Amino acid sequence: MVRLLREQWIRARYERNEFEFIEKQEPYSAGYREGFLWKRGRDNGQFLSRKFILSEREGALKYFNKQDARDPKAVMKIETLNATFQPAKIGNPYGLQITYLRDNSTRNIFVYHSDSKEMVDWFNAIRAARFHYLQVAFPGASDEELVPKLTRSFMKEGFMEKTGPKHTEGFKKRWFTMDDRRLMYFKDPLDAYARGEVFIGSKENSYTVLPGLPPSTQGYHWNHGITIVTPDRKFLFACETEAEQRDWIAAFQRVINRPMRPQEYFGEDHFHHKNAPL
């Protein structure tokens, strides 16, 4: 992601002279953007051209299944919108993963464009829309405080094994994504919806991460276990390598060591642990 953004920054400055001539600058902050992106189908996995509209006035990013459709297929509120470049996962050098909350569950949209500038422009337009939303939501906050909240990269992703809430079910391999305090697991890295989500709170609220699994645990194939203790239950995971175990524990520990903000308490209260099928 850094390389792609740096390349477009250099071209904007030295090829397009956007820093010298204001009229040449892309209207990232115009509050509206419309265009076509290749979007991965939720069920068939095929990438098809879809019309996208980003509107600050409506507070949403929308996409349409048909060019002349009046009603959008999905409406993604800017309030919960995030975008991060994921070329390896999507299989395209300009692949972008867009996430948003729908009924307090995370929904993934995977898109790309053949033109790197077009994709970076969409990324910057989303960031600009998020910036203007946050300026209204947090009127007393400085720009320096708001910029880190525009978009975020995931803290960690990768495969682990997990078992169910009774700890008697066999462990199954799942793709995990840690998005701040949300730990999500998917059957496939490109699934539209998580099979389940776990809220990771702070140590002050009785959240703990431990290396290893309880002695009576059975059914795992990978030997490097992790136990997350929450006020509700214990979550058991297993990693393929010791290095992966260390990385996951470090990611969990960073979140658990960080005190929860007031809005995160609200999120915890409205968070539902989903005991979906493994």
Model confidence over 59-114: pLDDT tens digits? 999 999 988 888 999 999 999 999 999 999 999 999 999 999 988 889 999 999 99
* CATH class, range 156-275: mainly beta
Model confidence over 219-255: pLDDT tens digits? 999 999 999 999 989 999 999 999 999 999 999 999 9
Say whether pLDDT at 175 is over 50: yes
Per-residue pLDDT, 105:
87
Model confidence over 123-166: pLDDT tens digits? 989 998 999 999 999 999 998 999 888 999 999 999 999 999 88
Please tell me the pTM assigned to this model.
0.85
CATH 2.30.29.30 intervals, the chain: 3-147, 156-275
Per-residue pLDDT, 73:
95
User: What's the half-sphere exposure (Cβ side, CA atoms, 13 Å) at 83?
Assistant: 23
What band does 273 get if pLDDT is binned at 50, 70 and 90?
very low
Per-residue pLDDT, 276:
43
Nearest to 267 by CA among 106, 65, 90, 36: 106
Architecture of domain 3-147 in CATH? Answer: Roll (2.30)
Indicate the average pLDDT of the chain.
87
Per-residue pLDDT, 21:
55
Residue 181 neighbours by CB under 8 Å, 6+ apart: 199, 200, 201, 255, 260, 264, 267
